[in-house]
Structure 1
Amino acid sequence: MVGHTHEDIDQMFSKFSQALHHKSAPTVGKLLEVLKAAYRPENSHSELLRSVWDFRAMFSGCDALRGHSIPHIFKIYMKGSQLTLAYKDWPLPDEMYREIPMNLTGMNPHLSVVRPLCTTIEDITRSMYRDLPKWKESARLKPSEIDDWGRYLQSLSTTVDPEVDFKDFENFNAAPTEERRLPENLLAALQKSHRKISRKSQVSVQRKRRTQ
């Protein structure tokens, strides 16, 4: 079994790739329009994120997890007054959860904004801004598209906070009290794969039969 499953995110970017093979997106605004039209359902939304919150810095003072790339299923919940992480390698009914306590006393409650690699961004921005007259002369872009790029590149010189405030985040849903059961066909395939990768190898030497 591979380390990840192909779900809606893979389908979404497949649709994006197909659409961009057939439609031009010469500006950021046009790109957002193509992405929105390429994917269904109808209420899909595309938006340019000018900045994001730095959650890594928020948890940088907390105990770090190790080995969490191997398990496939996790639950985080309060066990009494102790924040607890429960995990297991596979979502099999006969595999028990293993628990470890988590300590978030070093968490910084004040979010900061992820800062880009300013030197790299500034170099690229200046280079693109210098190329705008060349694009205009070569008629690669329409005058309105040149103006769009000029405004966009100028906007990169300022850092703004994300529009979604930390206090606006919804609370996490409580962990379900009952384990969600997999469909029987998927469970059977997973158990077969698990038995295969759990099987111990055995090497032996077979003596060659000697003829008289």
Structure 2
Amino acid sequence: MANAVEDLDTSDSDSSIDIIEISSDTSEELQPRKVFVLDSSSESSDSEVDNSEQSFHFAESLDSSSDEKSENGLPNTGENQLPQPPSQALPGRNYLAAFENSCGCEWDCLSLRLSQEDFVVAQHLFEKIGKRGAQENRFTKCDVCVALKEEKASTMDPEVKSLIDRLMEEHNTVNIAERQTYFDHRELARGQPDKYLSVIVDGMAQNKLCIPRLAQTRKSTSGLWSLRTHLTGTLVHGRHAIGYFDLMQYPHDSNLTMNIVLRILQELDQIPDTGFFQFDNCFRENKNKFVFSFFGYLVEEGVFNEVFVNFLMRGHTHEDIDQVFSVIANNISGKNVVTVDELLDIVLGILKSGYSRSGSSVHLLDRMFDIRDWIKPVAADLHNHSVPHAFKISKDETGCAKLQYKIWSTDTEWIPTDGSLKLLKAKPLGIPGMVVPSDVKMNVNKILEDIPKLINSSTVRVVTEEQKNWWEDFLSSTLPQYLAEQQQAEWPLQEIIHKKLRRNMETLAGLHFQRISSIFTGEHFI
């Protein structure tokens, strides 16, 4: 087992593996050991690796060669990197970190105290799993869980099996703790809706929502093109559920997330001071500098006092919103859902019956503000923000929005403690323009050609004349309207800010009235 490192194959040029030695002065028995740093050309490989308290880190590989990544606010290197936090995932244990870029898996939850032999075995496991090239898919099983189970099944060594069991136990412990944080936020919002807002946002699998959708697939029509729709579901805990559909005419990027947050705030009668927002780890839509900067702007404008943005462990993000999606998929399965209106009615019925009959709603997006380009000139550059799972946005003593983070929500301290990570360089100017719709992902020509063939096919007898008329009107009139460039719409954030100001004034007036009443009733002197 001690010779396991010698067996590792470092000849693969695609891995770009550089070996650095780490010595430990905490035990005479421990010998210098080696840690893998992928992509040795990266700037991150020049950073020092902390080996205090026998802590061994698998460094994160960060590609700084692409300007596009930096422009989009994706993980990158630079001067404004989020500093690496001290180990505090589980008190009393060392922090073994192998970030997801190192082997395609999210190993940064592992914090076991390992002996020399166990460390070599774990290192060997990480390298083997890394060469496997696990594919990322948010609807499949966790890469870490699958990899550990496969490794356990492939070995007969009881010591290796024991180590894998401990790694799996640690992985599950962190996952449960992160999920519990989400549950706590949800219950706070349900119990004290005047103080807390809890929202989860996620997208449903697109292959479930193609229209027309027939209960029985005919051979003669199975190859015909259909209209793809996309559902972004939101649960505003203790209040209502809202579904936002689009026809793939808008990019599914940070603009989609920020516009949906804006619409959620529009729907509220009053906006609490603290907001909890739960997203998945998709950097394109959620985990990027534009979304964080937008929340920073909301804080600076007084819409919120604090915003907490949380991300569950990758591969373990299935939550209550996904249960709603499952009910929707089961409900439309085996049914003839011919028109978009029918699909929206089915989803609305599910949201009202399962969540809130009065407040739940479904919308088909017909406009989108280009918040990304509006806030981009003033958004501070963030790097390494793909690693943490919990973020806090609040004001510093000067009234500027600051960003703090934890690797895991159960960590004890928000970093950095001095509030040095400012989210906005200045106030954004003017108001956002409108995102121009695009038919690139719709394939309009195929839709116009194939859908009439499907609904008028002699083998499809379930389509009514009313449904045929609906499609004729949609293809000739409604669809071109959704693809047309939108005129500048009224920017709703100003009304949201005024709504919050009115609420604050009403609260202050109520407190003032209570004080005066207590003076006249004598309670003031008790």
How far apart are 1:119 and its partner, in Å? 4.9
The secondary structure found in structure 1 opposite 2:361 is coil
Give the alignment of 1:84-95 within 5 angstroms: 84-92=402-410, 94-95=412-413
Which residue type is aligned with residue 88 of structure 1?
K
The secondary structure found in structure 2 opposite 1:169 is helix
The CA RMSD measured in Å over matched residues stands at 2.9
Give the alignment of 1:1-212 within 5 angstroms: 1=175, 2-3=313-314, 5-39=317-351, 40-41=354-355, 42-43=357-358, 44-61=360-377, 62-81=379-398, 82-92=400-410, 94-98=412-416, 99=419, 100-105=421-426, 107-119=428-440, 121=442, 124-138=443-457, 140=460, 141-153=463-475, 154-157=477-480, 158-160=484-486, 165-169=492-496
Bigger Cα displacement from structure 2, 101-110 vs 27-36? 101-110
The secondary structure found in structure 2 opposite 1:97 is coil
* 5+ residue gaps, structure 1: 174-212
TM-score (norm 1): 0.67
Higher RCO, Cα 8 Å, sep 6+: 1
The secondary structure found in structure 1 opposite 2:333 is helix
Q: Please give the alpha-carbon distance, in whole angstroms, between the structure 1 residues aligned to 2:319 and 2:499.
A: 22
User: Which residue pairs with 1:195 in the alignment?
Assistant: none
Q: Please give the alpha-carbon distance, in whole angstroms, between the structure 1 residues aligned to 2:491 and 2:324.
A: 23
The secondary structure found in structure 1 opposite 2:432 is coil
How far apart are 1:129 and its partner, in Å? 2.3
How far apart are 1:144 and its partner, in Å? 1.6
Indicate conservation of the 8 Å contact 1:136/1:143, yes or no.
no
Which residue type is aligned with residue 329 of structure 2?
S
How far apart are 1:150 and its partner, in Å? 2.6
> Percent same amino acid at aligned positions?
25
Q: Please give the alpha-carbon distance, in whole angstroms, between the structure 2 residues aligned to 1:137 and 1:89.
A: 56
Pick closer, same or farther for the CA change 1:112–1:35 going to 2, 3 Å.
same
How far apart are 1:164 and its partner, in Å? 7.4
Pick closer, same or farther for the CA change 1:136–1:94 going to 2, 3 Å.
closer
Q: Please give the alpha-carbon distance, in whole angstroms, between the structure 2 residues aligned to 1:66 and 1:109.
A: 27
Q: Please give the alpha-carbon distance, in whole angstroms, between the structure 2 residues aligned to 1:22 and 1:50.
A: 29
Higher strand share: 2
How far apart are 1:64 and its partner, in Å? 2.8
Pick closer, same or farther for the CA change 1:172–1:13 going to 2, 3 Å.
farther
Q: Deviations over 1:85-113 (max 9, x none)?
A: 11111122523432412224273442122
Q: Deviations over 1:112-147 (max 9, x none)?
A: 2222334554xx223322335423431533222122
Indicate conservation of the 8 Å contact 2:380/2:422, yes or no.
no
How far apart are 1:170 and its partner, in Å? 5.3
Q: Deviations over 1:144-179 (max 9, x none)?
A: 212222322332323446687333335899xxxxxx
The secondary structure found in structure 2 opposite 1:60 is helix
Pick closer, same or farther for the CA change 1:128–1:102 going to 2, 3 Å.
closer
Pick closer, same or farther for the CA change 1:22–1:132 going to 2, 3 Å.
closer
Q: How many residues align?
A: 171
TM-score (norm 2): 0.29
* 5+ residue gaps, structure 2: 1-174, 176-312, 501-526
